[in-house]
Chain A
Amino acid sequence: MHIPDGYLGPATSGVFCAAMLPIWITASRIVKKTLQAKQIPLLAIGAAFSFVIMMFNVPIPGGSTGHAVGAVLVAILLGPWAAVIAISVALVIQALLFGDGGITAIGANCFNMGVVIPFVGYYLYKLISGDAPVDSNRRVIAAGVAGYIGINVAAFLAGVELGLQPVLHHTAQGQALYCPYGLKIAVPAMAGEHLLIFGWVEAIVTALVVKYLQKQAPELLGKEAS
């Protein structure tokens, strides 16, 4: 889901970079108020965990690859605004150091993976968990569903962003200037592979870590930063 440079036209790149600025400022303000000093190490581990989990490319034999993001997990533990910061830092380092995701696409990538996944995942987790006890299976299932839906909403959105490009930018002869695939191809491709495969990876990772923390550190599951 890391959109490279050259796939989005300037209009789309600009809109998402402009949208991310106030989101980053708001995230800093909220995290500043709500994050506790003792939660800083966990936020650092969460960001590093997200980065490493994104390196586990899962193959579709003969097809493409994809991966989990781990953003729902960070949101469950520390709140969605803290997750915005953690995932954005991971995405910026990925782009700058490893060329994974474009420099011009950083706004779109941070929005898709660093905002949509944590917020959708966090509120679904809250909704499904309700007031279930911290050690309940309901929370494990809630974490899995939140992971699955969170990454799928983001994949769908990435598909729309890519699919809009041939409509927005093309030559007089009809050749695309940026992403050459329209909505009819990009959306089913991005949404389909995440619904079938990669969404389940995010679901399993999120659910298993929540299950582990229920046993090892239940105090982390009861309260979050925002």
Chain B
Amino acid sequence: MKITSKLWIGLGIFVLLSPLGLILPAHFKAGSAWGEWGADEIKDLVGYVPAGLKKLGGLWNAPLPDYAFQGWEEKGLTHLSFAYIFSAILGAALIALVVWLMGKILIKQNK
């Protein structure tokens, strides 16, 4: 088997295991990453929401916020794990495609 095929399979296994990155932090009650808190968390931490942060924080509404479907914030870990795997597949496929296309275009210009 070609090494790239082996690496794709390896990546697929990582994708299927990716919900560990959701379940383990939940199990160990680990909060957000440092410096990546939402406005509510900031308020709990420092007592106020910095004005600029409040304004810029809602600048962009991502279609799959936090690797979940919009409105799934209250769903359980099983649902969220499903969304996480879906996000991993979609994101990995899209990124691989964009990089592959960029590589093709760059090298074509060279010829």
Nearest chain A residue, comparing its CB with the CB of B104: A40
- A134 interface contact, C-beta 8 A: no
- B31 interface contact, C-beta 8 A: yes
Closest beta carbon of chain B to A53's beta carbon, Å: 7
B residues within 8 A CB of A181?
Answer: 35, 46
Within 8 A of B (CB), among A31-79: 31-33, 35, 37, 39-49, 51-53, 55-67
A residues within 8 A CB of B106?
Answer: 28, 31-32, 35
- B98 interface contact, C-beta 8 A: yes
The 6 closest A-B pairs by CB, nearest first: A99-B62, A59-B30, A6-B53, A6-B56, A40-B103, A177-B52
Do A59 and B25 form a contact, CB below 8 Å, given A32-B107, A48-B96, A175-B48? yes
B66 touches A48 (CB 8 A): no
Q: Which of B8, B21, B97, B100 contacts A55 (CB 8 A)?
A: B21
Q: Which of B54, B62, B99 contacts A47 (CB 8 A)?
A: B99
Q: Which of B15, B64, B65 contacts A52 (CB 8 A)?
A: B15
B102 touches A189 (CB 8 A): no
State A175–B46 Cα separation when bound (angstroms).
10
A35 touches B57 (CB 8 A): no
B95 touches A89 (CB 8 A): yes
State A19–B88 Cα separation when bound (angstroms).
30
Interface size of B by CB at 8 A reads 67
Closest beta carbon of chain B to A12's beta carbon, Å: 11
B residues within 8 A CB of A216?
Answer: 3, 6
B60 touches A57 (CB 8 A): no
B residues within 8 A CB of A49?
Answer: 7, 11, 14
State A177–B34 Cα separation when bound (angstroms).
18
A residues within 8 A CB of B84?
Answer: 55
Q: List chain B positions with a Cβ less than 8 A from chain A.
A: 3-4, 6-8, 11, 14-15, 17-18, 20-22, 24-25, 27-36, 42, 45-46, 48, 50-57, 59-67, 84, 87-88, 90-100, 102-104, 106-107, 109-110
Q: Which of A7, A171, A190 contacts B51 (CB 8 A)?
A: A171
- A116 interface contact, C-beta 8 A: no
- A100 interface contact, C-beta 8 A: yes
State A93–B97 Cα separation when bound (angstroms).
12
B residues within 8 A CB of A96?
Answer: 60, 62
State A4–B42 Cα separation when bound (angstroms).
13
A180 touches B62 (CB 8 A): no
B52 touches A2 (CB 8 A): no
- A154 interface contact, C-beta 8 A: no
Do A51 and B95 form a contact, CB below 8 Å, given A62-B28, A180-B46? yes
State A166–B45 Cα separation when bound (angstroms).
15
A residues within 8 A CB of B22?
Answer: 57
Q: Which of B24, B36, B91, B100 contacts A4 (CB 8 A)?
A: B36
Nearest chain B residue, comparing its CB with the CB of A96: B62
- A220 interface contact, C-beta 8 A: yes
Within 8 A of B (CB), among A5-44: 5-7, 9, 28, 31-33, 35, 37, 39-44
19 A-B contacts (beta carbon < 8 Å): A2-B33, A6-B52, A6-B55, A35-B106, A44-B100, A45-B11, A48-B93, A48-B99, A49-B14, A51-B91, A52-B14, A94-B91, A97-B64, A99-B61, A99-B64, A177-B52, A179-B35, A180-B45, A181-B46
